[in-house]
Structure 1
Amino acid sequence: MVGLEHERPSEFYLSAWQSTRSSTPLLVWRALLFLASLGIVLTSFIMYILSPIPIGFWFIYLTHWGLTIMLFCTGFAVAVSMRCYFYGPISTEFSLPWYVKTYWVLYNASVPVAFLITVFYWTLLYSAGVSEEIGPVLDVSIHGVNSVIMFLLLASSAHASRLVHLVHPAIFACTYVVFSIIYYFAGGTDPQGNPYVYPMVNWAQPGSTMVVISVTALLLVCLHFVTVGLAAGRNALANRILRPSVTVHVDEDIALRNQTQSAVP
């Protein structure tokens, strides 16, 4: 279960909400989510370029790290769907291709991290007056719309989320913590010249910082469990609503196009 193998590769390019084997619906949907992600990231990046704040500060925030993996996640989702649209289903003879595994890792990390960024910002950073963006509209987009995009990606997928894949968001979070430590001891500052990225993650005060990190880590674990629960609920609800008499995921290697299935009453 820790590994990245799955007996039904079709669940990575077919939605739980469709009763056909066409990869087109999910491809179109994922393309829209990718374009929305790209629009948010480009707008945020361009606003920094146009502002007096040096562009290098864009890369120090956890929010922007989360936006980056969100962009790569939706991009790889589109790539998986496009591959299946043009070349047919993924064979089950061998292990999952690298691009499917890459998408899966990005998905496992980006969904709970997006939820974490939204909760962390609106509960701690917003009240503390921390401003990562130029303008309130963009602020809402990167701290709210990001979670909406990842929720829509989760809700439209079919593959399950595994509890043991908590390791993927955990690695992402640990990487950022290590970065913040290195950034502090290297003399890094926020745009206002303070010796930290976030005031509540100030390594000059390691005790309180470790408390914040521990609570945030616990929240990330909980949000991963929420992600797993949402995925399980999505599949259960889709199966109950569609009530397919013939599952569309059994014959993994049959052609995706010109394939019709008759429903048995």
Structure 2
Amino acid sequence: MKLPRLDLSMQKKSCRPVMLGRMWQASRRALRLDHSPPHQFACCQWQNGHKPSTGYLIYRWLVFLTVICIGVASFACQRLPRRYEGPPVKINYFKWFIYFTNWGFMLIAIQSGLALAVVHRYRKKAYNFSYEEDDVLTPRRSATPLLCRMYWLSHNVATDLAFVITLIYWTLVYDPKLHDINALNLLVHGGNSLLMVCELFVTAHPLRAAHALYGSAVGLAYGVFSAIYWALGGTDRFNLPAIYPSLNWDKPGPAFGFVAVCAMVLMFVHGCATCLVALRLRLAARLRPTRVQSEHLTLPTH
């Protein structure tokens, strides 16, 4: 009796859609802003217990107030550089909003405000944090609150933009004749990255590699905004047609190239941020093994 031959070519064809479907589903899960347990968005990596500590609440208030004060000072203290030798220019304060640096700083302010709101939410309401012990035996994924999703998204984007802004400003944009080196300039072009590094080591929530796409999307959105602003006749604070010399849409080829490079750098710096979070978890595993072990018993991040 002869056994029927299997058509291997048909099997391969049928497997390909299944594999592509699984890859698509895995990509969608990685991009989602879902994480369990959600209380990690309200806690510090180095605290005890699952309820936000008083020390972390004070830290969140200090960060929020400091960022707001620096942002207000950056907007209100606009002036021409001391070494500026061009024609007289009347300062337009609302042009503060056209610069990528200030986009990034506004996102830092937004994420610090949302982080503070998340901490107050988990401290104000009587949440039952003991459910995780039962979840070890009967896992149940709790829904991630919208407030936590918004905070996580803004934190991801603000971190990527801060690193890129510091890198690009001091390598490509800074001009001694157009920019003064003072405390405010150092805070918005260097203190932003230092703050986000501190945030990566203090917070308890994870950082996913796939979320690099969100930061790159914001970078591309700024490139589109700068092109529209240029097409409508907008100028920078010195009345020049380009917001940044490297983003001059009078020369579309180099401008497109600059936007593409920035998008790739955003993905690279997100990878660096992910490595910093991995380092934080490794340090926590050595210094606080009991707490980290209990967190590992909870559901996976995606």
Q: Which residue of 2 aligns with 1:29?
A: 59
Relative to structure 1, the CA distance from residue 139 to residue 75 in structure 2 (aligned partners, 3 Å threshold; closer, same or farther) is: same
Write the distance in 1 (CA, Å) between the matches of 2:124 and 2:295: 19
> Does the Cα contact within 8 Å between 2:209 and 2:274 map onto a contact in 1?
yes
**Deviation (angstroms), 1:56:** 1.6
**Deviation (angstroms), 1:32:** 1.2
- Trace 1:21-100 onto structure 2 (pairs within 5 A): 21-23=50-52, 24-48=54-78, 52-89=90-127, 94-100=142-148
Write the distance in 1 (CA, Å) between the matches of 2:177 and 2:265: 22
Write the distance in 2 (CA, Å) between the matches of 1:31 and 1:126: 32
**Deviation (angstroms), 1:129:** 4.7
Relative to structure 1, the CA distance from residue 221 to residue 93 in structure 2 (aligned partners, 3 Å threshold; closer, same or farther) is: closer
**What amino acid maps onto 1:21 in structure 2?**
H
Write the distance in 2 (CA, Å) between the matches of 1:90 and 1:39: 36
> Does the Cα contact within 8 Å between 1:19 and 1:242 map onto a contact in 2?
no
- Trace 1:106-255 onto structure 2 (pairs within 5 A): 106-127=154-175, 129-131=177-179, 136-244=182-290, 247=293, 249=295
Write the distance in 1 (CA, Å) between the matches of 2:99 and 2:151: 23
Relative to structure 1, the CA distance from residue 27 to residue 249 in structure 2 (aligned partners, 3 Å threshold; closer, same or farther) is: farther
**Deviation (angstroms), 1:90:** 7.8
Supply the RMSD in Å over aligned alpha carbons.
2.4
Structure with higher RCO (Cα < 8 A, 6+ apart): 1
3-state DSSP class of the match of 1:200?
helix
Q: Quick check: 61-70 or 48-57, which moved more?
A: 48-57
Pick the structure with greater CA Rg.
Answer: 2
Matched, 1:6 2:35: yes
**Deviation (angstroms), 1:146:** 1.0
Percent of matched pairs sharing the same residue: 32
Question: How far does the alpha carbon of each residue in 1:15-55 deviate from its partner, in whole angstroms, 9 at most, with x for none?
Answer: 11123334122222121111111111010111139994111
Relative to structure 1, the CA distance from residue 214 to residue 128 in structure 2 (aligned partners, 3 Å threshold; closer, same or farther) is: farther
Relative to structure 1, the CA distance from residue 124 to residue 130 in structure 2 (aligned partners, 3 Å threshold; closer, same or farther) is: farther
Matched, 1:20 2:49: yes
3-state DSSP class of the match of 1:48?
coil
Relative to structure 1, the CA distance from residue 141 to residue 163 in structure 2 (aligned partners, 3 Å threshold; closer, same or farther) is: same
Relative to structure 1, the CA distance from residue 107 to residue 246 in structure 2 (aligned partners, 3 Å threshold; closer, same or farther) is: closer
Write the distance in 1 (CA, Å) between the matches of 2:231 and 2:196: 34
> Does the Cα contact within 8 Å between 1:57 and 1:191 map onto a contact in 2?
yes
Relative to structure 1, the CA distance from residue 215 to residue 246 in structure 2 (aligned partners, 3 Å threshold; closer, same or farther) is: closer
**Deviation (angstroms), 1:130:** 4.6
TM-score (ref. length: structure 2)? 0.76
TM-score (ref. length: structure 1)? 0.86
| Alignment length (residue pairs) | 250
Write the distance in 1 (CA, Å) between the matches of 2:120 and 2:77: 31
